[in-house]
Structure 1
Amino acid sequence: MSGLPRLRGLNPLRLLSTNNNRGRFTYQQVPNGGNASPFDFQKYSWPSAARRISSTKLVALAIAGIVVVVLLAGGGYRGVQRHHDRPTEDEAPLPFYWQHYYRLNGFYNGVRTLVSAAEYVPENGYNISIPPTLEVDSGLEKSMSRLPKEPPIDPIKYDPYPFGDETYLRDYDQVHQCYLDAEEKTPAPDVYAYPAVPQHMALPLFGDYKELGMKEDVCWERFGRLGAYGYGYGPAEGGTGLGNDSESAGSEKVFERVGHVDYRGMDWGAAQRRCYEKNERRFREEQPSGKKRVQRHAYVLRTWTGYHYSEQQMLSLRAMINELSLKSGGQYDVHLLVHVKDDHIPIWASKDLYRKTLEENVPKEFWNISTLWSERLMEMYYPEPFPDNFANMAGAGIHGVYRSAHFALQWFSQQRPEYDFYWNWEMDLRYTGHYWEFNEKIGDWGRRQPRKGMWERGRRFWIPELHGDYSNFTQFVERETWEKDVAANDIERSGPVPIWGPVQQFPHTGMLSPPNATIPPSSYDEDEYTWGVGEEADLLVFNPLFDPSLTNWVFSWDVTGYNRSLPIPPRRAAIITVARLSKRLLDTMHRETWQMRHTMFPEMWPPAVCMHHGLKALYVPHPVYFDRDWNVATMDQSLNYPKNIWESPFGWGEHNLLGSSFYYNSGFSGALWRRWLGQSENGEGGGVSEREGSGRLCLRGTLHHPIKHENGPTE
């Protein structure tokens, strides 16, 4: 082990680069030094990460924290420190044990290292081997002069749409092509990907592309992904000017096919409306042709007055609208749900004032896809009283966006009831892959899932390297459920175990009845994983559906409208409010709110309503990458089996996810995204590094969160 401190910082691309600083990975150095406690909310945030808890909210936590530290000083922190398989180190101690794992560098291998699936060797050693040993027979030991000057493989048009297939046309009506302009001179553009991956790119630690039905042997670089939306050419041609001076070898092959699309004067609302009207027959309840009806989706992005729409943000919004709406023949509509932060503006009283507010706060090309709302409007729509709150740890009003962001989405679903599903999306999300493919494949996956064991599977991270494929994971969870949880019948914890149908057998003073369709047709034992197969999911989330009562998640008790003289209701939550919600779920949430005055913290309310009413709720196992070569057994213990509530990743153990590509406060996610954009991050990457090294990054489809800025240096 004595050699590990030296090897831990090695970079597999060091042999290809003249940059002497590539061995450092400074964004992972926690700002306040090496004595940070896992109980310290302030010290382990990256500079680029969102601050979840304000100083006001920490007042209440401070009191609890003092008690916690006193109670756990003898064992809690030492429990976090004791991990038998972590390397020892003579250097000053790092704040968290996972920072001792080897850095994975394959993310930063560029397009000049692209290889086919047959040649590809992932970098992951799962903390067993040292990653640099993978240089053997990889081709990366070649000198820089022997690497190709351009990507060795040509990009291909990426077309995941099945609309021309015979099997699709047997079931559904034809899709008519949509255009950006009313004159139909500019068709909705295509995007391009490489049918290869960079040598040694790491594999995800959570989730799997094959399980979701997505391609895993393709990668996306910025010109093929964003060139169709204004990246790589200047404003005089209708582009953004971004990327004009960046490393671009081979990008001309994209522009030869896509051209330079002119976005000056673009009206996305009009384009979406024309596309829907052209294909409207596909969405009718009654299909004259006898074919199947296509369900419609509202893709709702939550934004606010004063939000800065950067050029990078504009590219992402254009990609969403083009790929989800125009290329799908109107299957999706993209909406901006704009929070008017000034409650003194009566947007409901004057059309002129409404339009003035909108036009002052949203770029013109998105005016006609925007809907304004305010907290004052929510106060009128869901009027007081909202009694019997168990614990308002946020210290905010019930109608405030922080505690009740779902109010606006519930309201929107009542104003626009024509959709079957509503995607609750955040402005700080980015996706390197194709939006329609991602959305449709996870929807298909949700439809295939049985209800049996869905809550038990959904509360765990699926780690394929440890658990095997998802079928094996399903069997493992069932065995574990019966062996460990059959006696756990405490309603304050999780209700009957395993959960089967609506959970309403707990003391309460009133709740809406569950839909008849959610009553199990047989017992749990009799079902052979058939109930729910073919049924659309009411809720799809992107982090586990955990039981807040088994964690110290700070908002666990923000439950309103249930009699406080009775035990707090059983509930579930999923960190980050990003989700797909069915109309049935949103209608139930709406009715529970206005009729029963029930509500909870936003990340808890939709899962809890699903749990109480027997709706189908699933955690989507989308691929999530980590910046370190974790030992998967330790990861499983840390994330799925914390020794006590203080170590749960959904609370003070959340530091375990700081190095992931998707969590509410991930530092790695934003850093990797900016590197993908060609920017320098903490002295690594940027134009010179890409040109002198292996080229620009090419990543598989990855959901990144949070992206708090995209304006790093490019050299």
Structure 2
Amino acid sequence: MSPFDINPRKLFVRTRFGYEKLPGADSQSSSPLFGTPLIKSWKNRSPWANQQWRRPRLSLPRIIMLMITTLLLASMLGTGMYRRHRWNEEQRKKGERKLYHWEHFPRLDGYYNGIRSIVPFSDWVPEQKFIKNALSGNPEDKLEPKYPVLSKEHKEPPLDPVPFNPYPDYSTYEYLNKHDKVETCYLDKDDKVDLPDIYAYPGIPQNMSEPFFGSYEELGLNEKVCFDRFGRFGPYGYSYPREEGGLGMSGKSESWGADKIWSWEKKIDYSKVSWADAQRKCYEKNKVRFDKNMTEANKDVPAKKKLPRHAYILRTWTGYKYSDYQILTIRAMINELALKSGGEYDVHFLLHVKDDSIPIWASEEIYNKTIEDNLPKEFWGMATLWSEQQMKSYYPEPFPNNVYNHAKAPVHSVYRSAHFSLQWFAQRWPEYDFYWNWEMDLRFSGHYYEFNTKVGEWAKNQPRKGMWERASRYYIPELHGSWKNFTELVEEETFNSDEKPVWGPPKFENTGMLPTLDEVKPPRSYLQDNYEWGVGEDADLITFNPIFDPAKTNWVFRDDVTGYDLELPEPPRRCAIITVSRLSKRLLDIMHRETYLMKHHMFPEMWPPSVAFHHGLKAVYAPHAVYFDHNWPLETLDGTFNRPPKPTDSVFGWGEHNQLGSSFYYNAAFSSAWWRRWLGSVENEEGGTAAEEAGTGRLCMRPTLFHPVKFERGAE
């Protein structure tokens, strides 16, 4: 029977994925002391077994001793059995836990529908919508989703992959009329090795689940395609052997139709690539596009529009192990962000040297040796080293008046001041307009340039009115409707609340603050503004989780505030969990001055949003797609994440368990499990090559940002 001659419900493969490994039997349970005794024949063990044996004569004392011994053994056996029963009962009770409320919601399994179930976007029915309509009592609501008609023998996807190109057409008159010419970049010094493309399928697996938070359409991302592991990573060496310059990782993978990308693509020998050289050369060829000081030679010709430059900073450390999957991800970043854009981005490694005794500032030889020992060779030349000892000199003590140091760690420890090195980096490399703070356990299934560029453009078009209030909430399109409707809803909620909307830099009691900039002062009153102020202004801060007020939650680090007058109320604060963000040079410069001049300091996830808040800068939360593995009722989702009944229920505090089933949060467990399934691995006894080949094939994902992914594995 074909996998497509089935009831659509059967596409929803039930998963046993669990977030907490429940305590099982103790290791002692396999011990002979607690396990079933191994009874062997005395006859087979005795050296006298084959000799003639005489029954001993039983005298009265011997009978009494035998009875006493039997009673003792029976008593010991009974006591042992009782104690074991009690121990097993205690372990069983320890293993039991009360399920979280969201674990009672139905599982969503459309995430695991494969490439053989791909349909054009116009035919796609999200899993949630199908379930909702299937349960509806109205016959008119019934849906009969279209499925590809494939036989058992025909295993290839119904659609072919196509090159995915999100870049402007640099050759058109429209582009060249406004911008300088883009010089093509290459991977080698002789300009002979072309940059690879990546490939997407022009459709979505039927009944694939849709995101609960965020919107592809709102951010301007292509919502009609999906990426499999071959199209996404194949051109970076995933699917060909090391003898040919690849990584040879796909040997055991389900691969029907995967070779079609080689009709267009050439295999690259990455063992010969120096990404630092390629990146530098690309910028040199294109620097006229960014240099705002360069003027046209012909004064009669209007000046071309200069583009901003971005530093894409990977936060790594000595001893970090770079898996082959990590290398694929980094190659994708450099190629898609820096090289194919004609130098709009530079990818950097900001490498934390954990051993403070290494004098990285005193010896070029030691500096380079540290890089070579802690970074794959193809990325040498892209790292900037720093250490906590170095930051102690750059931002010297004292940092007085701490409210509460919950971490019990020094202020210069990376745990409490990861932003120190980022601020220093922006002073060390001041030529960039924006700095992306990127963590090593982030993954993205789509195209980096499309995502980063569209997020930046979306943020630039956001008005300041209602900005902080919108940023504090999750956008649920299925519930809130359009972004315009969401904007109006937030304004209405703000109007009906006791809170005063944020409009420019807030006023609060303090004994010393840096002056605010003139350009951040509102040009008109809040009521007079018709969502005009801020439109066309680049955001100083873009976060990927909501920017909330930690004082209204029981978030554990909310009071790690230093340098402000303890006789006055704590300053107002804002926070975004996970330090992943885009920061402007303007914001980083203010953070730097606040640190070294004013000795102000906060926990890393509070510091950039709070400085932006205090100084009236533009800060937004980008509503990227976030998925959940349970089918939350939308009103419950909104009530839990956007308006908890009391502070202790906040999802940024004791209510963080609500984030476990999501694809993006600091403790999201579903994130890494889904990512590894996409790579072809077996997770919780499900998935893997055999399951993919017997079912609808390997997974194909829409562009999704994952965090955290602490380890990776593929088909085994």
TM superposition score normalised by structure 1: 0.85
CA distance in 1 between partners of 2:414 and 2:670 (Å): 27
Query: Could you say which structure has the greater relative contact order, defined with CA pairs below 8 angstroms and 6 or more residues apart?
Result: 1
Deviation at 1:508, TM superposition (A): 1.0
Deviations for 1:530-569, whole angstroms, at most 9, x for unmatched residues?
0000000000000000000000000000111101111100
Could you say which residue in structure 1 is the equivalent of 2:60? Answer: none
CA distance in 1 between partners of 2:384 and 2:125 (Å): 48
In the alignment, residue 230 of structure 1 is paired with which amino acid?
G
Deviation at 1:692, TM superposition (A): 1.1
Could you say which residue in structure 2 is the equivalent of 1:27? Answer: 18
Could you tell me whether the CA contact under 8 Å between 2:134 and 2:142 is conserved in 1?
no
CA distance in 1 between partners of 2:695 and 2:353 (Å): 46
Could you say which residue in structure 2 is the equivalent of 1:575? Answer: 577
CA distance in 1 between partners of 2:172 and 2:204 (Å): 27
1:240 lines up with 2:244 in the alignment: no
Cα distance change of structure 1 residues 441 and 106 upon mapping to structure 2, 3 Å threshold = same
- The count of residues paired between Structure 1 and Structure 2 equals 630
Could you tell me whether the CA contact under 8 Å between 2:555 and 2:652 is conserved in 1?
yes
Compute the RMSD of aligned alpha carbons: 2.1
Deviation at 1:355, TM superposition (A): 1.0
In the alignment, residue 27 of structure 1 is paired with which amino acid?
G
Could you say which residue in structure 2 is the equivalent of 1:117? Answer: 121
Could you tell me whether the CA contact under 8 Å between 2:186 and 2:195 is conserved in 1?
yes
Q: Which segment drifts farther, 431-440 or 169-178?
A: 169-178
Could you say which residue in structure 2 is the equivalent of 1:5? Answer: none
Could you tell me whether the CA contact under 8 Å between 1:30 and 1:95 is conserved in 2?
no
Could you say which residue in structure 2 is the equivalent of 1:605? Answer: 607
CA distance in 1 between partners of 2:251 and 2:291 (Å): 45
SS at match of 2:341: coil
Could you tell me whether the CA contact under 8 Å between 2:541 and 2:584 is conserved in 1?
yes
Q: How does 1:47-196 map to 2 (within 5 A)?
A: 94-125=98-129, 128=132, 137-138=144-145, 145=151, 148-162=154-168, 163-196=170-203
1:499 lines up with 2:506 in the alignment: no
CA distance in 2 between partners of 1:447 and 1:32 (Å): 49
Q: How does 1:270-669 map to 2 (within 5 A)?
A: 270-289=277-296, 290-485=303-498, 488=499, 497-503=500-506, 505-669=507-671
Cα distance change of structure 1 residues 12 and 126 upon mapping to structure 2, 3 Å threshold = closer
Deviations for 1:186-235, whole angstroms, at most 9, x for unmatched residues?
11111110110000011111110111111100000011100111111111
In the alignment, residue 275 of structure 1 is paired with which amino acid?
C
Could you tell me whether the CA contact under 8 Å between 2:392 and 2:412 is conserved in 1?
yes
Deviations for 1:139-184, whole angstroms, at most 9, x for unmatched residues?
5698x84584101111111110002343322211111110000011
Cα distance change of structure 1 residues 377 and 127 upon mapping to structure 2, 3 Å threshold = farther
Cα distance change of structure 1 residues 14 and 477 upon mapping to structure 2, 3 Å threshold = closer
In the alignment, residue 15 of structure 2 is paired with which amino acid?
R
Could you tell me whether the CA contact under 8 Å between 2:14 and 2:109 is conserved in 1?
no
In the alignment, residue 454 of structure 2 is paired with which amino acid?
K
CA distance in 1 between partners of 2:131 and 2:632 (Å): 6
Cα distance change of structure 1 residues 16 and 217 upon mapping to structure 2, 3 Å threshold = closer
Cα distance change of structure 1 residues 452 and 602 upon mapping to structure 2, 3 Å threshold = same
1:202 lines up with 2:209 in the alignment: yes
SS at match of 1:26: coil
Cα distance change of structure 1 residues 469 and 558 upon mapping to structure 2, 3 Å threshold = same
SS at match of 1:242: coil
In the alignment, residue 527 of structure 1 is paired with which amino acid?
D
Deviations for 1:431-451, whole angstroms, at most 9, x for unmatched residues?
000000000000000110000
Could you tell me whether the CA contact under 8 Å between 2:11 and 2:113 is conserved in 1?
no
SS at match of 1:27: coil
Structure 2 residues without counterparts, runs of 5 or longer: 1-5, 25-95, 297-302
CA distance in 2 between partners of 1:183 and 1:434 (Å): 27
Could you tell me whether the CA contact under 8 Å between 1:13 and 1:109 is conserved in 2?
no
Could you say which residue in structure 2 is the equivalent of 1:686? Answer: 688
In the alignment, residue 575 of structure 1 is paired with which amino acid?
I
Q: How does 1:250-269 map to 2 (within 5 A)?
A: 250-269=257-276
Deviations for 1:595-637, whole angstroms, at most 9, x for unmatched residues?
0000101110000001000000000001111111110100000
In the alignment, residue 498 of structure 1 is paired with which amino acid?
P
Deviation at 1:367, TM superposition (A): 1.1
Could you tell me whether the CA contact under 8 Å between 1:502 and 1:612 is conserved in 2?
yes
Could you tell me whether the CA contact under 8 Å between 1:123 and 1:131 is conserved in 2?
no
SS at match of 1:299: strand
SS at match of 2:123: coil
SS at match of 1:389: coil
Deviation at 1:26, TM superposition (A): 2.6
Could you say which residue in structure 2 is the equivalent of 1:492? Answer: none
CA distance in 2 between partners of 1:131 and 1:401 (Å): 51
Structure 1 residues without counterparts, runs of 5 or longer: 1-10, 34-91, 489-496
Could you tell me whether the CA contact under 8 Å between 2:164 and 2:198 is conserved in 1?
yes
SS at match of 1:476: helix
In the alignment, residue 505 of structure 2 is paired with which amino acid?
P
SS at match of 1:577: coil
Could you tell me whether the CA contact under 8 Å between 2:123 and 2:146 is conserved in 1?
no
Deviations for 1:648-706, whole angstroms, at most 9, x for unmatched residues?
00001011111111000000000000000011111111111111111110000000000
Could you tell me whether the CA contact under 8 Å between 2:133 and 2:143 is conserved in 1?
no
Deviation at 1:15, TM superposition (A): 4.4
Could you tell me whether the CA contact under 8 Å between 2:116 and 2:148 is conserved in 1?
no
Could you tell me whether the CA contact under 8 Å between 1:227 and 1:255 is conserved in 2?
no
SS at match of 2:620: strand
SS at match of 2:212: coil
Could you say which residue in structure 2 is the equivalent of 1:59? Answer: none
Cα distance change of structure 1 residues 141 and 520 upon mapping to structure 2, 3 Å threshold = closer
CA distance in 2 between partners of 1:13 and 1:398 (Å): 56
Deviation at 1:423, TM superposition (A): 0.1
SS at match of 1:258: coil
Deviation at 1:292, TM superposition (A): 0.7
Could you tell me whether the CA contact under 8 Å between 1:679 and 1:686 is conserved in 2?
yes
TM superposition score normalised by structure 2: 0.85
Could you tell me whether the CA contact under 8 Å between 1:16 and 1:140 is conserved in 2?
no
SS at match of 1:437: helix
Could you tell me whether the CA contact under 8 Å between 1:12 and 1:131 is conserved in 2?
no
Deviations for 1:88-126, whole angstroms, at most 9, x for unmatched residues?
xxxx87521111111111110000000001211110149
